[in-house]
Structure 1
Amino acid sequence: MLQMSGQRMSGLADTIRRHKRGEAVGVYSVCSAHPTVVEAAIMQAATDGTHVLIEATSNQVDQFGGYTGMRPAEFRDMVFDIADRLRFPRERVVLGGDHLGPNRWQSETATAAMEKADTLIAAYVEAGYTKIHLDCSMSCTDDPKILDDAVVAERSARLMRIAEDTAHSAGSQPPLYVIGTEVPVPGGAHETLGVLTPTPADRARKTIAAHRAAFADQGLDHVWPRVMALVVQPGVEFDHLQVIDYQRAATADLRRVLDDEEHLVFEAHSTDYQRPAQLKELVEDHWAVLKVGPGLTFAMREALFALALIENQLVPRPSRSNLIEVIERRMLTHPDYWQGYYDGEPQAQQVARRYSYSDRLRYYWADEEVDAARRTLLENLDRVGIPMPLISQFLPQQYDRIRTGDLDSSAQSLVIDHIRDAMRPYARAVSGVNE
């Protein structure tokens, strides 16, 4: 069975063991680098009495800073600082690295991209991340458009060797690993989706066999019991305007692939916006790791935009944050994160910039002007106080919790609780409790 040491991984390991014994339990992974989302995740875990799994993607955090400006050790410190402030034990925080491989450097040759990926993996492991997604599924400039499983597995084995050697040199616990070649694009689909077909069972078996052989070639047979999950496509995804819901009838054959794998579960990416019933079905069908990211910053944006509309009713124009206008201006000034994604007429592009499921807006929260406007918004509303009828108008679920005494009415509390509304279905789905 799954072998590991260390308190931080014990909760995750126990969950996987329980799932393999037949319990419909799992874990959801929060893939977001925004401090407010991290705070919401830790508060939800504190309420539930569970560990919290927080993952940084290679787009967000790398050895050069990623789009957040944070390196792996800096992201770790940010998460731990929030946990300390909330008096949440660090031992219950599991840190993961998502899509670690040549993803950030696909515009370079495979040799150059993999050299950077080597450094990336080492930086994550040195910083104490204990769940590592080895993702070498993407092609570089001198690769064929679609990589063979054997090539992906060989590159993954190379990165695993670096991770193992780094952990040994640092005297830290070795990581758990996630593998797979049917890996959805980080952050949701770029194009409008049609029919989505789950990974064929034979392809999933081929992926497992290729990785097992590649790890053995690297002398890493002993690490195989720490490969905890396989990424396959269960038929869930979202694009800018639609969500493709899980259809369990389409995965009947695929679900049997892990019957003879003692320690492996499936990991589902792009589960954002799935309905509660579908999240529960995914866990029951052995997708014991549910990843969510843009759906959480989407919820944060909903709450902040609602507060901006409240601010318009309460604060004189010269003192307003003008958050929505500031975001629009910064997105137009620096269009790199959305311009290649949102097509159509200017009005359609504006709607997509603000409201799309793919939430390209999330890349702009770290912008200094945007963050200053966000802070001004919260400070303005806390200074004047939000009348209850306005909370009822714009954030009705939070209104109900304030009325029952379960929530205070500070602006930040309203934002965090609305984010938690996007997390609560995940917490219920992985709990194994039938409602």
Structure 2
Amino acid sequence: MQAIRDLISRHKAGEPIGITSICSAHPLVLEATLRDALSRGQELVLIEATCNQVNQEGGYTGMTPADFRAFVIGIAEKVGFDPAHLALGGDHLGPNPWTSLSAAEAMDRAEAMVSAYVRAGFRKIHLDCSMSCADDPVPLPERVIAERAARLCAAAEAAYGPGGDAPCYVIGTEVPVPGGAAEDLDELAVTDPAAALATIEMHRELFEQSGLGGAWQRVIATVVQPGVEFDHDKVVDYRPERAGALSAAIEPVENLVFEAHSTDYQTPAALAALVRDHFAILKVGPGVTFALREALWALDAIEAQTVPDARCARLREVALKRMRAEPGNWRKYYHASGDALELQLQFSLSDRIRYYWPDPAIAEAQERLFANLRDVSPQLPLLSQYLPLAYAEVRAGRCSLDPAHLVMAHIAATLEAYYGACHPNA
């Protein structure tokens, strides 16, 4: 996509700018993102769908890439954000949803997925084949990862065809697990600079050998590990001194920056340092849906204080009941029991509850909660107690007492840190 490539060119020329990639399919997160961008006069907003959320088989949202594009554009039109300033991306596009299958079958499905994304108008494509399939060795050899990425790039190019705004690509073999680490973390090894450069060169050679020289000119970033991650209850913060050599290594590489995954929960100062150090694309997903959950739980508490018991939606209770009844989306990540499991289900930084918001019973409870709080508006003292960030926006006259607006005001506080990091001179 030319607008993103232009931004990367500006960064390579010395401007300390970057772009935030919002990896979420929740309507309130997306509306908050677009309203925030509109208030700032942003001319480019990047929203990405992940392979597990959205694919040709529906993903956990039930949406195909074409459905997701229509969904996002509908929200943009609702808030008055010009869709021409939207960039849509596909995150972790590869065999990840089908790793229980053979590599041959999983890659066939991955090809179909990448093609569907490109045909639907997604123009930032993260080619991620770093995971092993059922009949693969563990770990997967780096050359196999790169060969599969080239194969998926060829499928994307075929789906794109000539003319129009051509796709840009993100590569890499040292890719953090989508959604945060499942194991406890203490400290991470930063990618070796020589290894990062070798990965880039390997991809370049394989792209050229596959007749993808033109596509290689549109590769804008590679994914590495800058020493940034989170697990259920800890955050590994970015330490610039540990990534100095890695940061310097990308400077002479034409057209490429680093894409930083798992930046959720980093401090504003750490996010700004990442952009300065050429991690110019900042991915965030669970961080914004965690803020969404915080706000919804706060509204649930306010409801309990203000709405007659018989009318309460009890969103929190309904959500936890549905998570216990359908554990498939969290069981392989949460291994605690008893009270510790209850804490993980609700409060884990990996935020696996995000998979459950489309559940009909949970969605109905959320609608009832919002209806109740529209009938009985939250009082300012309760807002100050449970949603102090939204309270400040209400007091400043920038937010109404509508529950959806209160949720979006809380999410916007997370977005503000990313905007500041990517636009330090704004």
TM-score, normalized by length of structure 2? 0.98
Matching residue within 125, 135, 146 for 1:132: 125
The match for 1:121 is 114
1:82 partnered with 2:75: yes
Q: Which runs of 5+ in 1 are unaligned?
A: 1-8
Query: How far apart, in 2, do the equivalents of 1:226 and 1:15 lie?
Result: 13
- For structure 2, which runs of at least 5 residues remain unmatched after alignment? none
1:44 and 2:25 are equivalent in the alignment: no
Report whether the alignment pairs 1:350 with 2:345.
no
Q: In the alignment, is the contact (CA less than 8 A) between 1:149 and 1:210 conserved in 2?
A: no
> Which of 171, 183, 194 does residue 175 from structure 2 map onto?
183
Aligned pair count? 425
Moved more, 404-413 or 69-78: 404-413
Q: Is 1:104 aligned to residue 118 of structure 2?
A: no
Contact 2:2/2:166 (8 A) holds in 1: no
Conserved? CA contact 1:354–1:361, under 8 Å: yes
2:365 pairs with 1:373: yes
Taking the aligned partners of 1:111 and 1:210, their CA distance within structure 2 comes to 22
- Residue 31 of structure 1: how far off its partner (Å): 0.2
Tell me the CA shift for residue 172 of structure 1.
4.3
Name the SS for the 1:287 alignment partner. coil
Aligned twin of 2:139: 146
- Please say if 1:215 is aligned against 2:207: yes
Alignment partner of 2:46: what SS? Answer: strand
Once the two structures are superposed, the pairs formed by residues 17-416 of structure 1 within 5 Å of their partners are 17-50=9-42, 51-168=44-161, 172-416=164-408
Secondary structure of the equivalent of 2:217? helix
SS of 2:291 mapped into structure 1: helix
For residues 49 and 149 of structure 1, the distance between their equivalents in structure 2, rounded to whole angstroms, comes to 42
CA distance in 2, matches of 1:420, 1:85: 18
Rounded Cα–Cα distance in structure 1 between residues aligned with 2:3 and 2:159: 23
Distance apart, 1:43 and its partner CA: 1.0
Tell me how far 1:345 sits from its aligned partner: 2.8
Q: Counterpart in 2 of 1:5?
A: none
1:263-318 deviation per Cα after TM superposition (whole angstroms, max 9, x unaligned) = 00000000000000000000000000000000101000000000000000111111
Seq. identity, %: 50
Q: Distance in 2 between matches of 1:264 and 1:80?
A: 29
How large is the RMSD of aligned CA atoms in angstroms? 1.1
What amino acid does structure 2 have at the position aligned with 1:116? R
AA matched with 2:256: L
Residue 229 of structure 1 aligns to a residue in which SS? strand
Matched AA of 2:68: F
Give 1:343 shift: 2.0
Cα distance in 2 between the residues matched to 1:404 and 1:297: 25
> Which has the larger displacement, 401-410 or 152-161?
401-410
Q: Does 1:12 align with 2:4?
A: yes
Paired with 2:410 and 2:395, the residues of 1 have a C-alpha distance of 16
Stretch moving more, 262-271 or 387-396: 387-396
User: Which secondary structure state, in structure 2, belongs to the residue aligned with residue 30 of structure 1?
Assistant: strand
Offset at 1:17?
Answer: 1.1
In 2, distance between residues paired with 1:165 and 1:141? 28
Letter in 2 for 1:86: V
Contact 2:390 2:407 in 1 (8 A): no
Task: Quote the Cα distance in structure 2 between the aligned partners of 1:343 and 1:137.
Answer: 25
Cα distance per residue 1:191-233 (max 9 Å; x no partner): 1112201111111011101100110111111221200000000
Paired residue secondary structure (2:401): coil
Q: Secondary structure at the match of 1:88?
A: coil
Partner of 1:253: helix, strand, or coil? helix
Instruction: Tell me, in whole angstroms, the C-alpha distance in 2 between the residues paired with 1:68 and 1:345.
Output: 28
Q: Which moved more, 1:322-331 or 1:340-349?
A: 340-349
Alpha-carbon distance in 1 for matches of 2:275, 2:118: 28
- The one-letter code matched in structure 1 to 2:67 is E
Deviation at 1:10? 3.9
Output the CA distance in 1 between the equivalents of 2:83 and 2:416: 22
CA contact (8 A) 1:167 1:173 kept: no
The CA distance in 1 between the partners of 2:255 and 2:264, in whole Å, is 26
Distance 1:327 1:422 in 2: 23
User: In structure 2, the residue corresponding to 1:189 is in which secondary structure?
Assistant: coil
Does the CA-based 8 Å contact 2:275-2:422 persist in structure 1? yes
What per-residue deviation string (whole Å, max 9, x for no partner) do you get for residues 17-44 of structure 1?
A: 1100011100000000111111011111
| Displaced runs of 4 or more, over 4 A | none
**1:336 match: secondary structure:** helix
- On the 8 A contact 1:238/1:357 being kept in 2, the answer is yes
Other-structure match for 1:6: none
For residue 142 of structure 1, report the CA deviation from its aligned partner. Answer: 1.3
- Contact 1:23/1:432 (<8 A) preserved: no
Whether the aligned pair in 2 keeps the contact of 1:241 and 1:356 (CA below 8 Å) is yes
Which one is further off, 336-345 or 110-119?
336-345
